[in-house]
Amino acid sequence: MTTIKDVAKQAGVSVATVSRVLNGNGYVHEDTRSKVEQSIRELNYTPNEVARSLYKRKSKLIGLLLPDIMNPYFPQLARGVEDEMQENDYRLIFGNSDEKKQKEMEYIQTFVQNNVVGVISSTNDPEADMYTGLNIPVVFLDRTSNDRPSVFADGREGGRIAAQEMMLRGSKEITVMQGPADVRPALERFEGAVEVLEERGAAYQVLKTTSFSLTDAEGFAYELFRQYPDTDGVIASNDIVASAVLKEAHRLEKRVPEDVQIIGFDDILLSSLLAPSLSTIHQPAYEMGRAAARLLIELIEGQHIERSSIEFPVEFMERQTTRKVES
Amino acid sequence: MTTIKDVAKQAGVSVATVSRVLNGNGYVHEDTRSKVEQSIRELNYTPNEVARSLYKRKSKLIGLLLPDIMNPYFPQLARGVEDEMQENDYRLIFGNSDEKKQKEMEYIQTFVQNNVVGVISSTNDPEADMYTGLNIPVVFLDRTSNDRPSVFADGREGGRIAAQEMMLRGSKEITVMQGPADVRPALERFEGAVEVLEERGAAYQVLKTTSFSLTDAEGFAYELFRQYPDTDGVIASNDIVASAVLKEAHRLEKRVPEDVQIIGFDDILLSSLLAPSLSTIHQPAYEMGRAAARLLIELIEGQHIERSSIEFPVEFMERQTTRKVES
DNA sequence: CTTATACCTGTAACCGGTTACACACGGATG
DNA sequence: CATCCGTGTGTAACCGGTTACAGGTATAAG
């Protein structure tokens, strides 16, 4: 590897001068500057970020922690974060937490050990010591925190909308699927839906689920129609689960949306491709990722922060698993 | 941040001794060891990986470069890589290349600047200088390279199988969609399919496509049935494109698989959830990711390497977009 | 009793950058 | 002519670890 010393020798100057050229600070004579730049080009030199990071005690690295990149919702967040970071010359150290505290801690620790300058995390416990004790900025993505920077969608409102649309379109026996209890956004959606149902005195049932994986989802879908064969409206905890419900409804030869309406959550790629296509609550995941990255960069670079919590609105995507509303 | 000096002072020894305890090498008296370990615990000390990396000229970081994490195929690869790396105490610096040489180069450069000890890349040009000039191990994932370590699925055979199954199930006017010409696996699938079609003297047409994104795919699907309204079998370049074709077929009120059969490629989550579910060529993406990570680790740790190229078999997943074959 | 050897520990150089500080030079100012 | 200041450059300390090397002690071997 070529080092700053090689460049200095080649250009006939000291390492300090090369460093000044590199960073564009201090005085450097124009002729010297060109000589150094030429040597840099000739030797194809790029500075070692590790050495820089050690002295300055900060790197150009960001830690990104998501529950599971295989869940189709998260790649959109990840890509939003990556694009924004890439454009601002930051790089990502990436890890999957599986919503497990242990893995989360391990990652946070190695983030710190590698001098990351900021962290973006989807955690269910923003108040955990591993976060409150960090002395670098953290942005919580897809998760709410009262007093710490976060970027999230209005899950409660999403749940409310889902329930309203369900009732508006004529479902009388609604089943609300409650996602994993320890996953915050899942809980909020659920609460939002139940709120509306209670307010209006509607009949509804709850089916608790414990995971978002497809194989598990198929089991929940089976269970749903076994326990509540007469349900005519299902508010699913996300689009994966909704897909499984749709598939099971087909298997039972129920007509969708005539016999049973289904509303999902997230609006992943899959949703628009299903037949019938899935009505769902859209979250602007890619934009949320970008926003989280922008916010983190502002925090890192110490600019004035307007709002340190950004809530994105959600939107009902009317597709084919809900009935048309007569106008 | 607490440093090794703080620990040394607290334990009343030199930094060298602390280092020895940390790394478990050299002689350390049992009593000293416990004292040091106690101080480490009390101060909640973890060594700075950046300093380590600088001296040893190697880190515990791996560079992972994928075309686009939003394409549903890649998260599976990524997760496979991540799981295997995580279990072996390596961390990932992750980037999306969008199949663009420029972005690829930028990432490779910052990988090097950060002292990564290995790289896993899905590139279309493994022979590019940026790879051949690297003096750290590189494993090419989902891409073939003759003489360099790589992990990939048998795309050509996949294409052959698709064509065979298509014909076996009675399609007479097959349309083969050719993926982006510069994406190697897409090309191989295409070539495999055409090979079989030629061998058997079957009638077929080719539709060239230039991207894998869903919006573009919908355009290609439209174009396909406009140009070849009589086609009764479509071999799509991947499952996303296949989904778009399926949707368009529905729109045109063609029956699937009676009027037109469709075979995709990849076997992403989506495929089994569509209605009718999508027949496709399965690639074991998650396992491929793990295998690439394992291979890279072996390369890094200098163990004996049995095979430096690993080809995974593909498999026809018979679902509902192909007709049953009479037995 | 001398010497070899295993065990234990500390000092200091080193990794590749950044930057505080010292110094030198030349023109402007009084 | 003395002083000051802007410009330009080099020396060396520093970041937080690792490790070569030296040196000291205790025990075993000759």
pLDDT in tens, B163-222: 999 999 999 999 999 999 999 999 999 999 999 999 999 999 999 999 998 899 999 999
Asked if A96's CB is within 8 angstroms of B94's CB, the reply is no
Confidence check: pLDDT of B65 > 80: yes
Query: Which strand (E) or helix (H) includes residue A85?
Result: helix A74-87
Is residue B16 within 8 angstroms of chain A, CB to CB?
A: no
Residue of chain B whose alpha carbon sits nearest to that of A74: B70
Identify the residue whose tokens are 């919006």. Answer: B215
Q: CA–C1' span, B35 to C6, in Å?
A: 23
Asked if B68's CB is within 8 angstroms of A79's CB, the reply is yes
Ramachandran bin of B44, using left for φ above 0, alpha for ψ from -120 to 50, beta for the remaining angles: left
Asked if A86's CB is within 8 angstroms of B91's CB, the reply is no
In chain B, what residues touch A70 (CB-CB under 8 Å)?
Answer: 75-76, 79, 286
Q: CA–C1' span, B27 to D30, in Å?
A: 27
Q: Is the CB of A1 within 7 Å of strand C?
A: yes
Q: Are A318 and A271 in contact (CB under 8 A)?
A: no
Q: Which domains does chain B have, with CATH numbers?
A: 4-47 (1.10.260.40), 56-153+285-312 (3.40.50.2300), 155-284 (3.40.50.2300)
User: What is chain A's mean pLDDT, rounded?
Assistant: 95
pLDDT at A1: 86
Which tens digits make up the pLDDT trace of A49-92?
A: 999 999 999 999 999 999 999 999 999 999 999 999 999 999 99
Which tens digits make up the pLDDT trace of B69-81?
A: 999 999 999 999 9
- Spell out the residues 6+ positions from residue A108 whose beta carbon is closer than 8 angstroms to its own: A63, A65, A119, A121, A130, A131, A134
Q: CA–C1' span, A52 to C26, in Å?
A: 35
Query: Which DSSP state fits B211?
Result: -
Give ∠ CA A234-A235-A241 in degrees, rounded to 5: 90
Which residues numbered 276-305 in B keep a CB inside 8 Å of some CB on A?
286
If you average pLDDT over residues B285-297, what whole number do you get? 98
Asked if A50's CB is within 8 angstroms of B114's CB, the reply is yes
pLDDT at A302: 80
pLDDT at A114: 98
Print burial letters for A26-37: b (CB count within 10 Å at least 16), e (below 16).
Answer: eebeeebeebbe
Distance CA B2, CA B8 (A): 11
How far A86 CA lies from chain B's nearest CA (Å)? 8
If you average pLDDT over residues B251-272, what whole number do you get? 96
Q: CA–C1' span, B303 to C15, in Å?
A: 26
Q: CA–C1' span, A28 to C28, in Å?
A: 22
Tokens of A240: 């994966």
Q: Is the CB of A29 within 7 Å of strand C?
A: no
Is residue B274 within 8 angstroms of chain A, CB to CB?
A: yes
In chain B, what residues touch A114 (CB-CB under 8 Å)?
Answer: 49-50, 59, 61, 91
In chain A, what residues touch B91 (CB-CB under 8 Å)?
Answer: 93, 95, 107, 110, 114
Residues 56-85 of A with CB under 7 A from strand C: 56
Distance CA B270, CA A237 (A): 18
Asked if B48's CB is within 8 angstroms of A115's CB, the reply is yes
Distance CA A261, CA A280 (A): 11
User: What is chain B's mean pLDDT, rounded?
Assistant: 95
Distance CA A70, CA A208 (A): 22
pLDDT at A96: 98
Q: Of the candidates B219, B205, B225, B318, which has an alpha carbon nearest to the alpha carbon of residue B272?
A: B318
Distance CA B264, CA B241 (A): 8
Confidence check: pLDDT of B306 > 70: no
* Percent of chain A at pLDDT exceeding 90: 93
Which residue among B47, B79, B110 places its CB closest to the CB of A113? B47
In chain A, what residues touch B272 (CB-CB under 8 Å)?
Answer: 214
pLDDT under 70: residue ranges of chain A: 303-307, 327
If you average pLDDT over residues B98-102, what whole number do you get? 96
pLDDT at B303: 67
- Spell out the residues 6+ positions from residue B58 whose beta carbon is closer than 8 angstroms to its own: B115, B117
Residue of chain B whose alpha carbon sits nearest to that of A51: B54
Distance CA A245, CA A260 (A): 10
Distance CA A179, CA A187 (A): 7
How far A113 CA lies from chain B's nearest CA (Å)? 5
**Predicted confidence band of residue B107 (pLDDT cuts 50, 70, 90):** very high
Give strand D nucleotides closer than 7 A to any protein Cβ: 7-12, 14-20
Which tens digits make up the pLDDT trace of B112-160?
A: 999 999 999 999 999 999 999 999 999 999 998 878 999 999 999 999 9
Closest-approach nucleotide to residue B17, Cα vs C1': C9
**Predicted confidence band of residue B304 (pLDDT cuts 50, 70, 90):** low
Asked if B69's CB is within 8 angstroms of A59's CB, the reply is no
Which residue among A69, A113, A247 places its CB closest to the CB of B273? A247
What is the secondary structure of B244-309 as a DSSP string?
Answer: HHHHHHHHTT--TTTT-EEEEEE--HHHHHSSSPPEEEE--HHHHHHHHHHHHHHHHTTPPPS-SE
pLDDT at B302: 80
Strands (E), B67-163: 91-96, 118-121, 138-141, 150-153
Confidence check: pLDDT of B1 > 90: no
